[in-house]
Amino acid sequence: MPLITAVIIVKDEEERVVKAIASARAVADEIIVVDDHSTDRTAEVARGLGCKVVIRALNDAFGAQRNAGAALARNDWILMIDADEVIPDKSLEEIRRLFANEVDSDALSVRIVNVMFGQPLYYSTGNCRYTRLYRRSRCSFTGDVHERLGIEGKVMSVNVEIWNDIAKSMDHIFVKTLRYTEIEARRYCDSVPSVSERMIRYELTWRSLKRFWKHYVKHKGFKDGFSGFILSIMNTIGPQIRMLKVWEQAKRQGKLVP
């Protein structure tokens, strides 16, 4: 059976990292925690649970942070999760079954399911699949905020879920949204010669309506109850905040055009 190293990237997650570590340990024989200079006891807690802890500044480069953790692994197979993620029992069993023998693939695509206040949201999340189990000898991440895994070889879609607990509190959602949108807006403005006010108007109005319709109606987010409604709203508000920050930064840089 191939051995697996779990890599967890963290920042001030002393409470939730315990569940992530326990979940990863059910299938991984090594756990590496890459800590972005947490100000709480995250690193101490992870060490106390037997993890290898590396202190490394994120510098808004999530792809590089993930690669740094994977580079320290003693195994070729990497399970990449975040501190706010866990693997449900049925998926742990499926991973064990898949790895009972040599896996005929270089990467495994799994489904990411958002969880809000303990409720998994299967509809408003959409069919979000990402490659989170992979051979580090054949794959590496590129990009910063929305990092992607570059794969040399075969990818297999498997019946495995990773639950992403997006809502420790509403304040937590807002803080995370503000942080990510700030990075995204800055990178976007730095990459273009100008920013159109017309485009921003469209993104804030009609595009936002389309986004809400996509998540709540097309993906049947209403079947997730009120939590599905809230997630559909947040999936609409996030891009709006990003565009407002794009407008602000473009105006400051003199890049704003009609």
- Res 51: pLDDT: 96
pLDDT (average), residues 81-99 = 94
CA 245/CA 238 separation, integer angstroms: 11
pLDDT digits (tens, 9 = 90+) for 145-160: 778 899 989 999 999 9
pLDDT (average), residues 37-58 = 95
- Res 104: pLDDT: 86
pLDDT digits (tens, 9 = 90+) for 163-201: 999 877 888 888 888 988 998 899 899 999 999 999 999
pLDDT (average), residues 87-103 = 93
Please identify which residue in the block is written with the tokens 């840089």.
Answer: 253
pLDDT beyond 70 at 209: yes
CA 84/CA 248 separation, integer angstroms: 31
pLDDT (average), residues 13-27 = 94
Strand 155-167 relative to strand 85-86: parallel, antiparallel, unpaired?
Answer: antiparallel
pLDDT beyond 90 at 21: yes
- Res 253: pLDDT: 94
- Residue 151 in 3-state DSSP? strand
Where does CATH 3.90.550.10 sit in the chain?
A: 4-167
pLDDT beyond 90 at 2: no
- Res 70: pLDDT: 95
Q: Which residues contact 39 (CB under 8 A, 6 or more apart)?
A: 12
Which residue type is seen at 154? K
- Res 93: pLDDT: 95
On average, the pLDDT of the chain sits at: 92
High-pLDDT (> 70) share of the chain, %? 100
Q: Which residues contact 106 (CB under 8 A, 6 or more apart)?
A: 134, 135, 138, 139, 151, 152, 153, 154, 155
Question: Which tokens belong to 129?
Answer: 């699949």
pLDDT digits (tens, 9 = 90+) for 234-257: 999 999 999 999 999 999 999 999
pLDDT (average), residues 98-126 = 90
- Res 201: pLDDT: 96
Confidence of residue 75 (pLDDT cuts 50, 70, 90): very high
pLDDT digits (tens, 9 = 90+) for 122-133: 998 777 899 999
**What ranges in the chain are assigned the alpha helix state H?**
17-25, 42-48, 62-71, 89-98, 170-191, 197-204, 206-213, 225-253
- Res 1: pLDDT: 61
Region 4-167: CATH code: 3.90.550.10
CA 29/CA 71 separation, integer angstroms: 16
Handedness of CA 250, 252, 257, 258 (dihedral sign): positive
pLDDT beyond 70 at 96: yes
High-pLDDT (> 90) share of the chain, %? 80
pLDDT (average), residues 19-46 = 95
